[in-house]
A and B are shown apart, each in its own frame.
Chain A
Amino acid sequence: MAPRTITPFGPQHPVLPEPIQLKLELEDERVVGVVPAIGYGHRGIEKACELNEYPKNIYLCERICGICSAIHGMTYCDVVEKLWPLEIPPRASYLRTIWAEMARTHSHLLWLGLLADAFGFESMFMQYWRIREKVLDILEITTGHRVTQSVSIVGGVRRDIDDDQKKHCIEVLKDVRKEAEALNNVLVNDYTVKARTVGKGVLSYDQAIALGLCGPHLRASGVKEDCRTQGYWAYGDLSYEPIVATGGDSFSRAAVRVGELYQAIDLQLEAFGKLPEGELAAKPKGNPPANEAVSRVEQPRGEVFYYAKGNGTRNLERLRVRTPTYANIPSLLVMLPGCELADVPIIVLSIDPCISCTER
């Protein structure tokens, strides 16, 4: 038996921009054990949400994660609205859906680029991020900011999309789809890409369920589970069907995200077509009442769960957030042992880790 060594992967590591440490137990080049150490990104947002007044928490919740920031803000608003409960106008729910899917488009393009970077396909990484800039541009045009959109308020949304913006967004989205198709073709069919991803980090259907995974990571193992099927906001009106792959490996996870990228663009186009006229926001009456509420929303990385407890004052008594990466990290303990050291970055990346979400 070869001697075992422990190699730290992180917290400062070229593959991931975020701080997470994995202590890899190695036998020569083969990983035999892994211990994740998290907590580098912990700020204490949940506690701070109890100290701030409830409308100000939107800004804090949006900064739980800078990639799915729009959806975090919307989910927070959603859970606080459920305390009354407060009905949001149909136009607001459509606009939320559009921005949520826009965020998913840019997040998946970002991830596809990072995946290409993880196996050393630098030019593909650059190409994906070039396309992503177009999505960020329409996000900036419609919301006012590239990354932290801050469009949601309790009761609805803060900004409207006018007809000119709508026309421009539709044009750009069609363009993005066309360019992404050319690139995805390489990702899905290229021999070298397949050699690095097929059969790496395999999780079976049963394992995926037993580990309690969520999001594209779960759907890549053949489980048809997606929060959007609940039909919150405008998803009930749109033709939506979860995208599933059966391989359970890193390649399937990429394939699911490629499918979701197209689907997100289609959903936006459909929502733009059906966008109803009307008010942007309903006005909440008084403070959030003493009540409890939960909200489950599908983020690019999986299901995010918000719990809020009001007590009749301007402050919430408790806010609890459970983010998708937190659910997906345990799968690393199953996927990594047995793989080679060189495949660790790809497998870690295949769960689309968002550490700042996880640790808050």
Chain B
Amino acid sequence: MGIIATSRLKSPWIMHFDNSSCNGCDIEVLACLTPLYDVERFGIVNMGNPKHADVLVVTGPVNRRTARVLKNLYEQIPGPKMVIAVGTCGTSGGVFHNCYNVLGGVDKVIPVDVYVPGCAARPEAIIDGVVLALQKLAKLQGVAL
């Protein structure tokens, strides 16, 4: 369809937000950008600004303090947007399920499109998660990926 819809799929800009994760998934998200995995060859660029982002990559369980920040960031991202919850604790709370400050997975606060399991999730799995999100986005927009 339009050039915007196509470019969104060919060069999705992601924003990474760390809830209260252990860092394991965060460095794996960063590792995706570095030479061995190099997602930039697919046009995927890591952004610091939510208003520039198409895909929100969230790691770690939501806690009482980051819930508000996460919601705020999600609302700032222009639609159509995709949310990827990375790691076991991002999907369900995982090993932190019985910690008193943890609310649970990312889906307790914002709608999640793709869940990437793993503790810590491997870069291959994260890239796969982004591809799944793009397929969903393509379907949503009615364009071929």
Contacts and interface: CB of A to CB of B under 8 A. Distances in A.
Interface of A: 11-14, 17-19, 39-45, 47-48, 51-52, 59-60, 63-67, 69, 110, 113, 125-127, 129-130, 132-133, 136, 145-148, 354, 356, 359
Interface of B: 16-31, 34-36, 48, 50, 60-61, 63, 65-66, 69, 73, 89, 95-96, 98-102, 119-120, 122
Given A41-B20, A43-B20, 11 more contacts: A17-B27, A19-B19, A40-B69, A43-B101, A43-B102, A48-B98, A48-B100, A59-B95, A65-B22, A66-B27, A133-B31
Given A66-B24, A133-B34, A148-B119, A19 B99 contact: no
B34 A147 contact: no
Given A19-B69, A129-B35, A146-B122, A42 B63 contact: yes
Contact of A42 (B20, B23, B24): B20
Contact of B27 (A39, A63, A67): A67
- When A and B form their complex, which 10 residue pairs have the shortest distance between CB atoms, in order from nearest? A66-B24, A14-B48, A66-B23, A129-B34, A44-B99, A63-B22, A66-B22, A147-B120, A41-B20, A44-B100
B95 A66 contact: no
Nearest to B61: A43
A199 B77 CA distance: 39
Nearest to B31: A129
B18 to A, nearest CB: 5
B98 to A, nearest CB: 5
Main secondary structure of the interface of A (DSSP, over half): loop
Contact of A133 (B23, B36, B65): B36
A43 B19 CA distance: 10
A146 B21 CA distance: 17
A133 B122 CA distance: 12
18 contacts: A11-B69, A12-B17, A17-B16, A17-B29, A19-B19, A41-B20, A43-B99, A60-B95, A63-B89, A63-B96, A66-B22, A66-B23, A125-B34, A129-B34, A133-B34, A148-B119, A354-B23, A356-B23
Contacts of A132: 34
Contacts of B34: 113, 125-126, 129-130, 132-133
Given A39-B65, A66-B21, A66-B24, A130 B95 contact: no
Given A44-B100, A48-B96, A146-B120, A356 B66 contact: no
Nearest to A14: B48
B36 A44 contact: no
Contacts of A67: 23-24, 27
A12 B24 contact: no
A17 B18 CA distance: 7
Given A126-B35, A129-B35, A17 B30 contact: yes
Contacts of A42: 20, 63, 65, 101
Contacts of B27: 17, 66-67, 110, 147
Contacts of A39: 65
Contacts of A69: 22, 24
B99 A147 contact: no
B99 A356 contact: no
A270 to B, nearest CB: 28
Nearest to B100: A44
Contacts of A64: 22
A44 B22 contact: no
A11 B65 CA distance: 11
B120 A66 contact: yes
A138 to B, nearest CB: 14
A48 to B, nearest CB: 5
Nearest to A72: B22
Contacts of B66: 11, 19, 40-41
